[in-house]
């Protein structure tokens, strides 16, 4: 096969979709982790800043195995932002707010993606059609649902997900520290639940509902 034949054999639609998904995952994870660090810093913890994690450079946040898992099965992780609750005036509440910042940032990113796609649809005639269509599809069909999914998934109250730390703010101290002892086992539980499709069943309806709400809000 000559080079021209090789080029013709490439499934360009599949390649474009794969690149778009990788970019969306990198953006979602980077925004998520950066906002954890920014929230902690705003509450008095300089640890993330001192370790250069208040950055939109995805290389500072990406765990390559976690990225591969997210692309392959829809469940993955990034490098956790270091947080030292001793800097917080109220450690449990500080941890909850820091944890909540990640999922909230993803939901806001999804809101922004749908809004920008609407603007492209309504006012993007000045753009070359190919670029306009690709960007519209990326924002509305790739970035928005991925960002909603990451935000809602992390709100599940299963250690080490952010939702477990939010829940912890409402527990008595004894129950909170007992709950956090199981954090080391939470990843195995999540992997098992994902393998059997339980987590997907739990949040797929919520993702669809959130996506439909944003779509109807702007379109």
State the catalytic residues: 33
Helix (H, G, I), strand (E, B) or coil at 157: coil
Taking alpha carbons only, the member of 32, 52, 56, 41 closest to residue 104 is: 32
The torsion angles phi and psi of 190, rounded to 5 degrees, stand at -65, -40
- Contact present, 69 and 61 (Cβ < 8 Å): no
- Contact present, 180 and 61 (Cβ < 8 Å): no
**Measured between alpha carbons, how far is residue 74 from residues 10, 71, 101, 144 in Å?**
25, 6, 21, 14
**Measured between alpha carbons, how far is residue 111 from residues 143, 147, 217 in Å?**
10, 9, 10
Alpha carbon distance 123, 22 (integer Å):
27
**What is the 3-state composition of the chain as percent helix, strand, coil, each rounded to the nearest 5?**
75, 0, 25
CB-count burial class (<10 Å; 0-12, 13-18, 19+) for 215: middle
């Amino acid at each position: 096969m000559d080079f021209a034949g090789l080029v013709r054999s490439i499934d360009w639609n599949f390649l474009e979709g794969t690149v778009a998904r990788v970019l969306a995952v990198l953006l979602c994870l980077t925004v998520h982790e950066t906002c954890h660090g920014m929230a902690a810093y705003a509450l008095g913890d300089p640890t993330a800043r001192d370790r250069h994690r208040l950055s939109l450079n995805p290389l500072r946040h990406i765990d390559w195995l976690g990225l591969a898992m997210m692309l392959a099965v829809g469940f993955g992780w990034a490098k956790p932002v270091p947080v030292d609750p001793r800097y917080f005036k109220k450690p449990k509440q500080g941890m909850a707010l820091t944890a909540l910042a990640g999922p909230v940032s993803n939901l806001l990113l999804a809101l922004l993606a749908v809004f920008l796609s609407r603007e492209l649809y309504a006012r993007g005639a000045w753009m070359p059609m190919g670029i306009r269509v690709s960007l519209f599809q990326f924002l509305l069909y790739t970035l928005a649902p991925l960002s909603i999914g990451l935000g809602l998934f992390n709100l599940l109250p299963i250690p080490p997900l952010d939702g477990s730390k939010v829940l912890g703010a409402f527990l008595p101290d004894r129950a909170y520290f007992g709950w956090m002892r199981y954090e080391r086992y939470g990843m195995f539980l999540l992997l098992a639940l994902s393998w059997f499709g339980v987590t997907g069943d739990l949040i797929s309806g919520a993702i669809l509902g959130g996506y439909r709400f944003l779509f109807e809000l702007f379109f």
